[in-house]
Amino acid sequence: MVEFRLGRHTYAAHSRLVMAIVNRTPDSFYDKGATWAADAAKDRVRQVVDEGADIVDIGGIKAAPGAEIDAAEEMSRVVDFVGWVRAAYPELVISVDTWRAEVGRAVCAEGADLLNDAWGGADPDLPSVAAEFGAGLVCTHTGGVTPRTRPFRVEYDDVVADILESVVGQAERAVAVGVARDRILIDPAHDFGKNTWHSLEATRRLGELVGTGWPVLVSLSNKDFVGETLDRPVGERLTGTLAATAISSWLGAQVYRVHEVAETRQVLDMVSTIAGERPPAITTRGLQ
């Protein structure tokens, strides 16, 4: 685990941060449009801040296939909203989930701190935008798939080797175009370009990602690999998500992109405390 920076903040090497998902979409798989309306999205930001989120990750396009959303429509969903969050919460780290450089430029102009390139470098100009604005960048592994496609019969000799090659390569290229080295995160991207076996192995071997020296972000929340592992539909995956969260944090991941902030915060605090990196909140047992 390493020290890194996001927005105005410098995070210590043992930090475990919660990145709250804020969807400006009518159709994302988990919330199904719950925060599509601007007022509902603002309420969501207030709630996740209250619950202890360190970062909000604002997205205007659902990951699954569906109606094509062009850059203009994507910008109409996220750019002004980023401006509102920036004004309302000057200290909050704002991430935007986009693969498009032009969207990245617009949100950085409104004060976004981090570009979450969830489709693994689909637009090669995105890192230059992060560099131009002094923003951070999340480098993800997708196995080379086109944005918004599901994995279909993907195989790897060694999925973790493929992840490492991809995300470290993206990170080094980002540094080369001027992104600050300590503002780059790597993400194995569970479920993206991966079947459940791949995502489980990526979780089991997360230590290899941590070992690269880049801070690791994981996006586990309510995903299909949890659902398939436990045979639970969307809506019944929180327990599995939190188990994967605990394992990932023990192995050294530092940022958790989630739907359920309060529950995740508790798990991360528990792990940090077991690890001896955070004191318990109160200790009276046997000490009265």
Q: Can you name the residues that pair with 21 across neighbouring β-strands?
A: 57
Q: Is 42 a catalytic residue?
A: no
257 a catalytic residue: yes
> Which residue stretch of 134-142, 223-231, 236-244, 262-270 sits at the interface with other proteins (rule: CB under 8 A)?
223-231
152 binds other proteins (CB under 8 A): yes
160 with 208: CB under 8 angstroms? yes
| Residues 181-220 close enough to bind other proteins by CB under 8 A | 195-197
Considering the complex, state which of residue 39 and residue 157 has its C-beta at the smaller distance from other proteins. 157
Least Å distance between CB 65 and other proteins?
A: 3
Q: Which of 223, 232, 278, 285 is catalytic?
A: 223
Beta bridge partners of 184: 137
Considering only 39, 91, 231, 233, the residue that binds other proteins (CB under 8 A) is 231
Tell which residue, 55, 69, 48, has the closest CA to residue 219: 55
What number of other Cβ atoms are within 10 A of residue 150's Cβ? 13
Q: Give the interface segment with other proteins, choosing from 61-69, 120-128, 203-211, 279-287 (CB under 8 A).
A: 61-69
DSSP strand pairing (9-11 vs 4-6): antiparallel
**Considering the rule CB under 8 A, would residue 169 count as an interface residue with other proteins?**
no
Q: Which stretch binds other proteins (CB under 8 A): 98-106, 108-116, 228-236, 263-271?
A: 228-236
Assigned token pair, 262: 């309060």
Asked if 234 contacts 29 with a C-beta cutoff of 8 angstroms, the reply is: yes
Per CB under 8 A, the list member of 39, 68, 91, 157 interacting with other proteins is: 157
> Between 71-88 and 101-109, two packed helices, what is the crossing angle to 10 degrees?
20
Residue 144 in contact with residue 120, Cβ under 8 Å? yes
Report, in Å, the least distance between residue 26 CB and other proteins.
15
Q: Tell me which amino acid residue 71 is.
A: A
Nearest to 116 by CA among 96, 102, 145: 96
The catalytic residue positions are 223, 257
Point out which residues bind other proteins (CB under 8 A).
64-66, 143-144, 149-157, 162, 195-197, 228-229, 231
